[in-house]
Structure 1
């Protein structure tokens, strides 16, 4: 079983493996009752998105401390890889930002407010995680977004935050924060292109709803 999976990686690349096959490679060995692929498949099916902690992983028969730590380390490495990815250096549209952030923060368990800074030609200058937590006037201020924009001479900005509950609806706090930010941007000559809500599979735009 393991030899076949390793050969598949060598011949066709790791991207050709299914989630349970990748997990089987990490686990290494099965049990007397279940081979490693069956064990991996059970973990994937029962967990949904592999959103498991150490104790939950070790509850599966055949997963000890060593295997659980390997799985958690692999998942964390994948998460950090996604979070380190950046947008193309070419001309960037709001749709590009939305699709990029679905991959980057769509699965994040906590809300993250990200600002994507562009120049006059709509080329990326930088993207920053501005805040982690609920986005409202009590926890985050427009100056937190504008400070970075002025520092790097950005003239356009798109802000976005994820909704871990999967809702694409903008809250009253979202709208109020966006209006305050738009006013602040206008004062210093920066164009607020949009405010996006990001979920696991999609995004919504405040501007397209005529809310800013």
Structure 2
């Protein structure tokens, strides 16, 4: 008789553990296996899961990796990439719904989690603005600019203009450092001051500027730079 593949029944056992203990009880490679099952219904996914984690560093790093880089990994095709991007989109929408139309002060931790999920793994700099109303509720979240690996052009007048169009009275600026280091640069500090001064002239307050990196984040307000 042919030898039974070792992974027969493995999928069922993983699903049972997920339902019984929850995702927090599972290591990254097993959670990634569960995601891969829907894209590859008849293969042992453990080797591919471990290969992906070795390449991209973490479950989040794999899910957020650019499609072109994912495609370089043997065994990753369009179906796997599409599955990862669906998971990423679902996670971002869930995180976004946790912070929209809610006071920022009471949901700051969730807001940072959303920004990290959205930007920490981007290969290029993204500059986004969170627009707040008089009750400090988040009314809009928009990516204003996309740049290179180390530079994003920011135009203070455009930030203020968009705030006025939305009826916002305050903004929080957020951008990522693809290098992973969230330390503000001299250019970051100068640009922040320009936006702050432009907004103050028209009654738009700059609450904070947060820099997101894979190794954490930095707040201008916390650093005493704002």
TM-score (norm 1): 0.79
Is 1:57 matched with 2:66?
no
Which residue number corresponds to residue 176 of structure 2? 162
Using the TM superposition, name which of 86-95 and 120-129 deviates more: 86-95
Label 1:131 to 1:46 Cα distance change in 2 as closer, same or farther (>3 A).
closer
Any idea what SS the aligned residue of 2:77 has? Answer: helix
Q: Which moved more, 1:46-55 or 1:123-132?
A: 46-55
Most deviating of 181-190 and 88-97: 88-97
CA distance in 2, matches of 1:7, 1:99: 28
Matches within 5 A, 1:27-176: 27-30=40-43, 35-48=44-57, 49-50=61-62, 51=65, 53-58=69-74, 63=75, 68-84=77-93, 85-86=95-96, 87-93=99-105, 95-96=108-109, 97-133=111-147, 139-176=153-190
Q: How many residues align?
A: 200
Task: Give the TM-score normalised by the residue count of structure 2.
Answer: 0.75
Whether 1:2 aligns to 2:43 is no
Deviation at 1:9, TM superposition (A): 4.7
1:195·1:205 contact (CA, 8 Å) conserved in 2?
yes
**Greater relative contact order (Cα 8 A, min sep 6): structure 1 or 2?**
1
Instruction: Mark the runs of 5 or more structure 1 residues left unpaired by the alignment.
Output: none
CA contact 2:181–2:214 (8 Å) conserved in 1: no
Q: CA deviation at 1:7?
A: 3.6
State the Cα distance separating 1:190 from its structure 2 match.
0.8
Quote the RMSD (CA, aligned, Å). Answer: 2.7
Q: Secondary structure at the match of 1:198?
A: strand
